Amino acid sequence: MMTRCFYDMEPVFSDFNRLRSELDRQFDIGLPLANIRSVPRGTFPPINVQEGKDGVSIQAYVPGVDPKKVGVTFEANALTIKGKRETECAAEKDSPAASCHRSERFTGAFSRIVSLPEGLDPEKIEAHCKDGVMKIIIAKMEEKKPKQISVKVE
Amino acid sequence: MAEQKGNKVTKAAESGVDSRLENSLVPPVDIFEDTDSVTLFADLPGVAKDNLELQIDKDTLQIYAQPAPAADPNATAHYTEFPEKDYYRAFTIGEEIDREKITASMTGGVLKLVLPKAEKVKPKKIDIAFS
């Protein structure tokens, strides 16, 4: 609330705010995180999970990873995403003529486990990958879906 | 409130700071250099080729991209480790880069930019004539 008040006090703090946002951006390089309680910096891939009426939708941000080489398994309400990411920069490092100036992108093997709510149907899982974003949709079991009860008038 | 917001943008434009800078993500990059060119890779997950904007102005290379929304809008979010914001990052490039020959390609959410060096800065082999 305090920061909000100061933030609105333009133009006194505008230069200060610009400096602050600039610093925030510098520290955000690599993996931008939603908040401080989120996963440690450098965790790959970052994952978003939403729960709707019909099921759960998961997005894993895996740019530059061949979707065929990503293993997605669902067991005991936990979804595991496993794979390996090979970046071209890491490959080029071995050649003597090339020099690496920046290496911020994740490289190597990764594995992440996400625990999901109960009552999901392991038979109804769909996974798509487009532009480096893997979307996984898991439907809820029929008996776990919210039921509409019709009231009879007597 | 809207007025104030508009004010902020004009102020940013006046002071030369791009208004896109605010509330955007910094994509991680890999940059490596060999004798012929400088190659840049940037992770831009969720960005299709059409939503990417590359701009070179004098010595500044700007990358601006808008990802397609991936989250289910009707559902409640459990975890959000990756906020869905626009990507923006700018680099300063030197005189040795041939601006006319820069090529860009986008595959699987990764941008590859090849910045070839100008002929004059490439190392030259000098032939020694025996007499």
Question: pLDDT tens-digit profile of B90-102?
Answer: 899 888 888 888 9
The pTM of the full predicted model, rounded to 2 decimals, is 0.73
Sign of the C-alpha dihedral computed for residues A30, A115, B75 and A135 taken in this order: positive
Provide the shortest C-alpha distance from residue A107 to chain B (in Å): 11
Residue B15, min C-alpha distance to chain A (Å): 10
What radius of gyration do chain B's Cα atoms show?
20
Instruction: Tell me if B31 and A131 make a contact (CB, 8 A cut-off).
Output: no
Q: Give how far B107 is from chain A: nearest CA, Å.
A: 7
The ipTM estimated for the assembled molecules is 0.74
Tokens (6 digits) for B124: 């030259």
Indicate the class that CATH gives domain B34-69+83-119: mainly beta
pLDDT by residue (tens digit) across A56-111? 999 999 999 988 889 999 988 899 999 998 887 666 666 666 788 888 888 889 99
Tokens of A35: 């908040």
How is A39-102 classified by DSSP, letter by letter?
A: SPTT-SS-EEEEE-SSEEEEEEE-TT--GGG-EEEEETTEEEEEEEE--HHHHHTTSTT-EEEE
B28/A50 Cβ within 8 A:
no
Domain boundary assignment for chain B: 34-69+83-119
From chain A residues 21-80, the ones with a CB under 8 A of any chain B CB are 21, 25, 28-34, 38-39, 43, 46-53, 56-57, 59, 61-66
**Which of B29, B72, B108 faces A131 most closely, judged by CB atoms?**
B108
DSSP state of B50: G
